Structure 1
Amino acid sequence: MRVFVTGGTGVIGSAVVCELIARGHRVLGLARSDAAAARLAARGAAVMAGDIATPDTWVARLPDVDAVIHMACDFSSDMGAIERRLLDALLPALATPSGRIRFIYTGGCWLFGPTGDVVANESATLAPLPAFAWMLPHLERVLISRELHGIVVHPAMVYEAAGGVFRRFAHEACKGAAIRVVGGESVRWPLVHSHDLATLYALALDRAPARSSFIGAAIEGHPVGRIARAFARRSGKPQDPVIVSADAIAAELGEWARGYALDQRLSGTKARHDLGWQPRHLDPEAAIAADT
């Protein structure tokens, strides 16, 4: 397929681009800088200059494609308006008489709110963080579209051995500082390795029916304190994590960062059953220890 991707140089997008190319798809990536363009080209993707914040400057140049995977997000206070303007410009441009283009929209685990001991699945009523409430009408817009083959993927917390949601832990451990944990050590994060998530996007591209949603959680819920302690051990300076409040992290990073305090358990069973997804990275603490 000819696949247009946004966010193709982020943690999720980089892995997705590599997975798609490895499967023989032709990828065109949106790049808002020369550095981003170079990273996309190095992975074998074609490049189109543009920024999701200014879709009117590039949507008319978008060539014919078979599918779109939207993974970009602007974490500014204006991110909801930016997303609305993007969809207002992009979705009409994708409506063609030749057939419905497959459109994969990226949601997120923080749209499910705190689940506690309940393992939430795709049928759960969404209860997003206020900072992400703007996303709900956009999800609905994609899923009910009659012009597109709409699909939603909700990634869990996306990690790599020292990257993704683990990057801050790795940085603090490298400095020899106490690792900060938001909310408490018992807060559970649903997790998925970037490579496993990329496989899920590729499977959804090939197999997911229209109007379907999938949670990309390989691990239902892992106590964040164990992650912090694994990084402390790896640094050779094991020490107790420092607990910080959701208010403190929001003041530092923005209201969206309150998600780090959400205690969640999410199920990836539907993706396994319906799409044949088989995540392979199921022991994040072992991955942290092995990344020396």
Structure 2
Amino acid sequence: MRVFITGASGWIGSALVPELIGAGHQVVGLARSDASAAALIEAGAEVRRGSLDDLDTLRGAAAESDGVIHLAFKHDIAFSGGFEEAADADRRAIDAFGETLAGSGRPFLIASGTLGLAPGQLATERDGQASGQVGAHATGGPAKRLANAQVTAALAERGVRSAVVRLPPTVHGDGDHGFLATVVAIAREKGVSGYIGDGANRWPAVHRSDAAHLFRLALESAPAGSTLHATADEGVPIRTVAEVIGRHLGLPVASLAPDEAAGHFTWLAAFLAMDSPVSSAYTRELLGWQPTRPGLIDDLEEGHYFATPSA
């Protein structure tokens, strides 16, 4: 299968490209920069230069492909107050792909998220599927991103084998620069490994190699309109995470009152306060996906998250 991937040189994309090539697929990756293009070529992929805003480029690449995996999202502006703008750009890309693939029966996968789907409850693949089914937590950009996933799943009615792969907030592994690496950096900077309240709130997690494997399985065989969960750990208590971080960095571990959290964790505080366990039971049964890489705590214990910046 000839597969076009946005975000192909990113954190998950750079694991997915060799996963697909190793399974006999051809990969074409979208690249905004020379560095991204070079990384894709080195990995054995073809390069299509452009960005998410180049809708004609996206349409052309999709038309020439047997399937599309859309991983890219403008996280660089999402954390600076532009999450709604990022979600709007995501929707334009999804619409462009949908228009091109309509009636073809070809696979179209997007990456979405699990955080906050059913706060305080074990979320399943059914949660958040219905149009307008958005929790009170999901306003603005988050609500739009959930709506984008619903639009993608609905492309099944237009002859696209669409699937939404929801990723947990922690997609971990050696080289991670995301949420978990940020929590470690904050602990090092503040001199304390903190958690909010009693720290019993839970985060789901998955190793990036296991996530890449699920994307391949979904590309090859997910039914049209599927919503899938890439969660290996259903929910790891944030206090447990803080304790491992504190031990590895030789720092005290402390509870922070909710009104102290923003000053300590800045933009990450709202995410860290959520209790969002997530099941992947349906996904595993449907596609036979079985995570094999270390879970979140075991991955932390391996120590690569604690290498000093100069190491």
TM range (shorter): 0.7 to 0.9
Shift of 1:33: 1.1
Q: Which residue is equivalent to 1:102?
A: 107
* Contact 2:193 2:251 (8 Å CA) reproduced: no
Structure 1 gap segments, 5+ residues each: none
Pairing of 1:248-263 with structure 2 (within 5 A): 248=262, 252-253=266-267, 258-263=270-275
Letter in 2 for 1:83: D
Q: Structure 1 residue 259: deviation in Å? A: 2.9
Alignment check: 8 A CA contact 1:6 1:70 kept: yes
1:143 CA displacement: 1.6
In the alignment, the residues of structure 2 paired with residue 54 and residue 180 of structure 1 have an alpha-carbon distance, to the nearest angstrom, of 42
Q: Secondary structure at the match of 1:20?
A: helix
The answer to whether residue 162 in structure 2 is matched with residue 153 in structure 1 is no
For residue 52 of structure 1, give the secondary structure of its aligned residue in structure 2.
Answer: coil
- 1:177 paired with 2:191, answer yes
Amino acid across the alignment from 1:278: Q
Distance 1:241 1:44 in 2: 46
How far 1:184 moved relative to its partner? 5.5
Could you report, residue by residue, the CA deviation over 1:169-201 in whole angstroms, capped at 9, with x for unpaired residues? 333456683235456622210111111111111
* Contact 1:230–1:288 under 8 Å retained in 2: yes
Give the 3-state SS of the residue equivalent to 2:69 in structure 1.
strand
CA distance in 2, matches of 1:258, 1:151: 28
Q: How does 1:107-256 map to 2 (within 5 A)?
A: 107-110=112-115, 112-114=117-119, 116=120, 118-125=121-128, 126-127=134-135, 129-130=138-139, 131-145=141-155, 146-157=158-169, 158-161=171-174, 163=176, 164-172=178-186, 177-181=191-195, 185-235=199-249, 237-241=250-254, 243=256, 245=258, 248=262, 252-253=266-267
What is the percentage of aligned positions where both structures have the same residue? Answer: 32
Q: What corresponds to 1:89 in structure 2?
A: 96
Amino acid at match of 2:203: W
Q: Distance in 2 between matches of 1:241 and 1:38?
A: 44
CA contact (8 A) 1:151 1:208 kept: yes
| Matched residue SS, 1:277 | coil
Q: Distance in 2 between matches of 1:241 and 1:22?
A: 45
Aligned in 2, Cα 1:71/1:289: closer, same or farther, shift over 3 Å? same
Give the structure 2 partner of residue 267 of structure 1.
279
1:3 aligns with 2:3: yes
TM-score, normalization: structure 2?
0.81
Q: 2 CA distance for matches of 1:40 and 1:26?
A: 12
CA distance in 1, matches of 2:270, 2:41: 35
User: What SS is found at the alignment partner of 1:142?
Assistant: helix
CA distance, structure 2, for counterparts of residue 129 and residue 57 of structure 1: 31
Q: CA deviation at 1:138?
A: 2.0
Higher relative helix content:
2
Change (3 A) 1:271 1:57: closer
The size of the alignment, in residue pairs, is: 285
Looking at structure 1, the residues matched to 207 and 55 of structure 2 have their Cα atoms a distance apart, in angstroms, of 30
Worse-superposed segment, 245-254 or 165-174: 245-254
Tell me if structure 1 keeps the 8 A contact 2:4–2:65.
yes
- How do 1:48-63 residues align onto structure 2 when only pairs under 5 Å count? 48-56=48-56, 59-60=59-60
Q: Secondary structure at the match of 1:107?
A: strand
Secondary structure at 1:112 match in 2: coil
Q: TM-score scaled to structure 1, two decimals?
A: 0.86
1:287 aligns with 2:276: no
Query: 2:191, 2:251 within 8 Å by CA — same for their partners in 1?
Result: no
The Cα offsets for residues 46-96 of structure 1, whole Å up to 9 and x where unpaired, read as: 111111133245533555111111111113311122122223333222336
Aligned-partner residue type, residue 60 of structure 1 = G
Distance in 2 between residues matched to 1:15 and 1:243, nearest whole Å:
36
